[in-house]
């Protein structure tokens, strides 16, 4: 039963009554707030401050408004006591906060006016903000979009993550090679977070487990060898069109007072302090590899640190209002964003057993009701494994618990499937072998009530391949929620002119909260007046052109964009080979034929993991090819190739609105979902894509005729691979690979290993096999582009059909079908 806090309730009611006398949004109040922050927060004279200082003062004034709403939301949630969602993710790619925040709070124009009277321009100040890059790629940006939707749809949710001091490395290109530089993003302060010095938890590592008798019952006691303190940093996340503001709570590691006290008496005081300081390194760095687990001690420490602090916080919040754990599953839903936070399962079990003394059966019953898991991976090889030795030394009690869970599961499984030892071995949490490992995906499937894939095709692959054994055992556990992205960031913030155009033609701004309304654009898809305005919008590539920098391009060209992490399966190489083919063809054309060529500006952008050699060679190849083409006067404006360095959320916000065509070339069956395609689609950009991940669902929404599809389907892939050296590849393909091998672009020895990778018989990602159909799709895009009306109509239909790919839809499905949470809207 909930405790009633009579006093607090009365206080809270009084506060709601006072709400409208709190922060005001008229120009004078805003100006006063900004100048107050200049003077007292930034500590500059209000008569003399620059853009950067103005940005900080502005951000603090916006933050004040966020805090006010967040407090109100918290009070409301506390009064209502709804079931809460706890979203655990090791990565959040938030990007910039200012523009998104003022739009969600509905105060953008007010702030812009107030600033202009002070002599500042909102857009200029917004440019002062750096990106918060606390994540690698799609998975991390998805978490950010989902937080925006959770707040907007009024769900009582909290996000938990790590406050890395170094975000994803900055990519610097020197002589065409990628170099990595640390992103010490907190250097200039972060106005969007609130440090909670009083919200801290001890996190234990190493040590031993002993038995203790308490009330005649035996209990395990973990005596740690090291203790580190977790400090909370809160980042409020405002909803759009609602007062609700939720929080993303990020943990930072600090030395603990309980740490190694005795060494202070031994005379090595300075060494002891330096040692203590090392604790901070736990949360200092984001691992830059987006698809593999390194098995490093620090990485495991980091994961447990984040999980332990979050679980303590969740249980503390629950115990504030509950005397026992009976209602825990009705009040708590824990979402594991991939297996990265899956140690939370063992941690909750440990707390319930060893600290709350609930007994195995009760604790296990709770575990099975509260956890859900989403996998973002398509291959078994990429699944996370933790060496047993490492786990045993760092987290000795957790290893015991995982062994116990596994023992119970294996016993049950034997009764169900008999002594099929191969299958038992495959399904066991413990992988036997030279190095024994804990399989975190198996742990997650066994303990979670629901396992979600991120697109319909992804679920199919999970059922038939990756998790087949488990699917046959528990078909009811497996579901999918196709990913989505937030239209607030990806249209309203990043493409304001398109936003205005859509609102004008739909006659409402309601689509910003209710994306299904976008479909209304279909009614105007052939309207000449809309075509005229839409074309103007499509031509508006200026921002993109500015981003490209010093390469001269024609505004009439087709802007063809390929932006994402560099991976062999994403096949940036296919794009570059296609560009070489285009270059070679133009070179061999006569004057008349050249007149028919559609001018192209090809843009590629993305980071390679620092240790991923082949990916780095792809980046270098892109640069040498660009060097050759862009300096060939004979080609002129007909073809340009540009690599934009340091792809991040802010670069995406510039590039996506300016793109005419975007490429999504993963070998079918390798992209779990893909989310950048959704952002392009919403912006009316046409897609050139394989039938992979969520693209299959896009075909249903916008129609095959409005996309440029190519390549082997997921069912064709195994047979093509099997052909090996007998696989037929087109002559054009052999020719372009030969050009690289022969040193047409220089560095032929350096690129040899890259060419070997796509040699027939070796070509795992089927670059050669898909080349002919890729060129056909490219030709179809050229043909459509010259027919302006057709292109415009296709573009309108893409935007109109993109509604399904809003994260609002994704979150609503999760809330209703997986988490069992209800909206809880704060009165406004």
> Is 675 a residue of the active site?
yes
Q: What's the closest the beta carbon of residue 564 comes to ligand GLS, in angstroms?
A: 8
Q: Are strands 437-439 and 430-431 parallel, antiparallel or unpaired?
A: antiparallel
- Whether 216 sits among the annotated catalytic residues: the reply is no
Tokens matching residue 629: 């083409």
Enumerate binding residues for ligand GLS (CB under 6 A): 137-139, 142, 290-291, 376-377, 454, 483, 671-675, 693
Contact present, 733 and 715 (Cβ < 8 Å) = no
Q: Shortest Cβ distance from residue 336 to ligand GLS (Å)?
A: 13
Rounded CA gap, 611 and 296, in Å? Answer: 15
Shortest distance in whole angstroms from residue 135 CB to ligand GLS: 9
Q: Which residues contact 214 (CB under 8 A, 6 or more apart)?
A: 357
Q: Where are the beta strands (DSSP E) in 271-413?
A: 332-337, 371-374, 385-387
User: What's the rounded Cα separation, in Å, for the pair 93 and 606?
Assistant: 15
Is 570 designated active site? yes
Distance between CA 686 and CA 781 in Å, rounded?
9
Neighbours of 8 (CB within 10 A): 12
Of 108, 397, 623, 679, the catalytic one is 679
* Minimum distance from residue 91 beta carbon to ligand GLS (Å): 9
Least distance from ligand GLS to the Cβ atom of residue 291, Å: 5
Q: How far is the CB of 20 from ligand GLS (least distance, A)?
A: 41
Least gap, CB of 794 to ligand GLS (angstroms): 24
Which are the contacts of 785, defined by CB distance < 8 A and separation ≥ 6?
558, 598, 660, 661, 791
Is 591 marked active-site?
A: no
| Residue (137 or 288) nearer to ligand GLS, CB | 137
Q: Write out the two tokens for 266.
A: 């031994």
Token representation of residue 753: 């290993």
**Cα distances (angstroms) measured from residue 169 to each of 190, 480, 606, 647, 698:** 18, 32, 12, 11, 32
Shorter beta-carbon distance to ligand GLS: residue 315 or 454: 454
The DSSP output letter for 127 is T
**Among residues 565, 582, 620, 623, which one is catalytic?**
565
Farthest-apart Cα atoms in the chain, separation: 95
Q: Which of 287, 468, 256, 292 is nearest to 385 (CA)?
A: 292
- Measured from the CB atom, the residue of 629 and 811 that comes closer to ligand GLS is 811
Specify the residue, 444 or 483, whose C-beta has the smaller distance to ligand GLS.
483
In the complex, minimum distance from the CB of residue 173 to ligand GLS, in angstroms, rounded to a whole number: 23
CA dihedral 751→756→758→759, nearest 10 degrees, is: 140
Give least dist CB 339 to ligand GLS, A.
10
Q: Which is nearer to ligand GLS, 129 or 671 (CB)?
A: 671
84 is catalytic: no
Q: Which 8-state DSSP code applies to residue 383? A: S
Candidates 376, 617, 664, 670; catalytic one:
376
* Rounded-to-integer distance, Cα 646 and Cα 641, Å: 16
Rounded distance, CA 129 to CA 493, Å? 14
Nearer to ligand GLS, 242 or 374 (CB): 374
> Of 339, 375, 675, 810, which one is the catalytic site residue?
675
Q: How far is the CB of 318 from ligand GLS (least distance, A)?
A: 29
Whose tokens are 């396992």? That residue is: 451
Nearest to 461 by CA among 335, 518, 376: 376
Name the nearest CA neighbour of 258 among 223, 282, 211.
223
What burial letters (b/e) apply to 227-256, b meaning 16+ CB within 10 Å?
A: bbbbbbbbbbbbbbbbbbbbbbbbbbbbbb
Residue nearest to ligand GLS (CB): 138
Active-site choice (398, 564, 582, 617): 564
Q: Which is nearer to ligand GLS, 477 or 679 (CB)?
A: 679
CA distance 30 to 23: 9
The whole-angstrom separation of Cα 721 and Cα 753 is 20
Residue number with CB closer to ligand GLS (150 or 363): 150
Nearer CB in complex with ligand GLS: 244/666: 666
Strands 194-205 and 226-238: antiparallel
Contacts of 377 (CB under 8 A, 6+ apart): 291, 338, 383, 466, 672
Compute the distance between CA of residue 747 and CA of residue 617 in angstroms, rounded to an integer: 11
Sign of the four-CA dihedral 466, 347, 815, 242: negative
When the beta carbons of 138 and 236 are compared against ligand GLS, the nearer one is 138
Our CB check for ligand GLS shows the closer of 289 and 420 to be 289
Least separation, in Å, of the C-beta of 399 and ligand GLS?
Answer: 26
Q: Which of 439, 570, 620, 664 is catalytic?
A: 570
Tokens of 249: 């709570």
Which residues carry out catalysis?
A: 376, 564-565, 570, 675, 679
């Amino acid at each position: 039963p909930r405790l009633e806090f009579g006093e607090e309730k009365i206080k809270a009611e009084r506060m709601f009554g006072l709400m409208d006398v709190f922060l005001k949004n008229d120009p004078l109040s805003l100006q006063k707030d900004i100048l107050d922050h200049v003077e007292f927060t930034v500590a500059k004279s209000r008569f003399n401050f620059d853009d950067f200082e103005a940005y900080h003062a502005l951000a603090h004034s916006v933050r004040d408004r966020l805090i006010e709403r967040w407090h109100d939301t918290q009070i409301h949630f506390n009064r209502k006591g709804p079931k809460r969602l706890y979203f655990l993710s090791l990565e959040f790619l938030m990007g910039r906060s200012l523009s998104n925040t003022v739009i969600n709070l509905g105060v953008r124009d007010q702030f812009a006016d107030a600033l202009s009277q002070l002599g500042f321009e909102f857009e200029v100040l917004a440019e002062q903000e750096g990106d918060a890059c606390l994540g690698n790629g799609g998975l991390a940006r998805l978490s950010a979009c989902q937080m925006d939707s959770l707040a907007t749809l009024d769900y009582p949710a909290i996000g938990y993550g790590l406050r890395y001091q170094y975000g994803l490395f900055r990519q610097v290109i020197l002589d065409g090679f990628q170099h990595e530089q640390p992103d010490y993003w907190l250097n200039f302060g972060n106005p969007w977070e609130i440090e909670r010095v009083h919200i801290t938890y001890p996190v234990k590592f190493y040590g031993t487990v002993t038995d203790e008798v308490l009330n005649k019952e035996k209990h395990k006691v973990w005596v740690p060898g090291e203790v580190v303190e977790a400090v909370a940093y809160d980042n409020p996340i405002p909803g759009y069109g609602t007062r609700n503001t939720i929080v993303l709570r990020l943990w930072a590691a600090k030395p603990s007072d309980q740490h190694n006290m005795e060494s202070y008496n031994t005379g090595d005081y300075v060494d002891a302090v330096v040692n203590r300081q090392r604790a901070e390194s736990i949360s200092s760095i984001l691992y830059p590899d987006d698809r593999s687990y390194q098995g490093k001690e620090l990485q495991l420490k980091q994961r447990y640190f984040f999980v332990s602090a979050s679980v303590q916080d969740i249980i503390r919040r629950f115990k504030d209002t509950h005397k026992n754990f009976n209602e825990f599953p009705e009040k708590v839903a824990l979402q594991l964003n991939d297996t990265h936070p899956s140690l939370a399962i063992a941690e909750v079990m440990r707390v319930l057993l060893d600290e709350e003394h609930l007994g195995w059966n009760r604790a296990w019953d709770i575990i099975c009701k509260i956890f859900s898991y989403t996998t973002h991976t398509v291959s078994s090889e990429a699944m996370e494994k933790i060496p047993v030795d490492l786990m045993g030394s760092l987290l000795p009690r957790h290893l015991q618990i995982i062994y116990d869970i596994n023992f119970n599961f294996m016993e049950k499984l034997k009764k169900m499937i008999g002594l099929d030892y191969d299958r038992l071995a495959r399904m066991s949490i413990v992988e036997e072998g030279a190095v024994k490992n804990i399989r975190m995906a198996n742990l997650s499937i066994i303990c979670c009530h629901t396992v979600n894939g991120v697109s319909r095709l992804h679920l199919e692959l999970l059922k038939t391949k990756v998790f087949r054994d488990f699917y046959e055992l528990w078909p009811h556990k497996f579901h999918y929620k196709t990913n989505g992205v937030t239209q607030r960031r990806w249209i309203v913030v990043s493409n304001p002119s398109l936003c205005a155009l859509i609102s004008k033609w739909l006659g409402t701004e309601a689509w910003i909260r209710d994306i299904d309304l976008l479909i209304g654009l279909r009614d105007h898809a052939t309207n000449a007046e809309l075509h005229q305005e839409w074309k103007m919008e499509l031509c508006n590539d200026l921002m993109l052109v500015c981003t490209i920098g010093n390469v001269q391009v024609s505004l009439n060209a087709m802007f063809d964009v390929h932006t994402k992490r560099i991976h062999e399966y994403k096949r940036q190489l296919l794009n570059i080979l296609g560009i070489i083919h285009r270059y070679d063809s133009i070179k061999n054309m006569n004057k008349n034929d050249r007149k028919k060529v559609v001018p192209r500006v090809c843009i590629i952008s993305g980071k390679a993991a620092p240790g991923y050699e082949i990916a780095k060679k792809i980046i270098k190849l892109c640069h040498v090819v660009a060097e050759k083409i862009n300096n060939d006067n004979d080609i002129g404006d007909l073809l340009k190739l540009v690599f934009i360095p340091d792809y991040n959320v802010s670069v995406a916000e510039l590039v996506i609105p300016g793109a005419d065509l975007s490429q999504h070339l993963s070998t079918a069956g390798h992209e779990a979902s893909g989310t950048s395609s959704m952002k392009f689609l919403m912006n009316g950009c046409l897609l050139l894509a394989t039938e992979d991940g969520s693209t299959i669902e896009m075909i249903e929404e916008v129609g095959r005729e409005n996309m440029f599809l190519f390549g082997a389907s997921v069912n064709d892939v195994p047979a093509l691979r099997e052909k090996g050296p007998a696989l037929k590849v087109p002559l054009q393909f052999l020719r372009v690979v030969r050009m690289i091998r022969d040193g047409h672009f220089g560095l032929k020895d350096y690129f040899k290993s890259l060419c070997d990778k796509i040699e027939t018989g070796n070509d795992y990602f089927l670059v050669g096999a898909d080349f002919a159909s890729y060129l056909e799709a490219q030709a179809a895009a050229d043909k459509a582009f010259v027919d302006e009306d057709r292109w415009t109509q296709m573009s309108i239909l893409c935007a109109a059909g993109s509604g399904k790919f809003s994260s609002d839809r994704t979150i609503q499905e999760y809330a209703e079908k997986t988490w069992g949470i209800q909206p809880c809207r704060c009165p406004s």
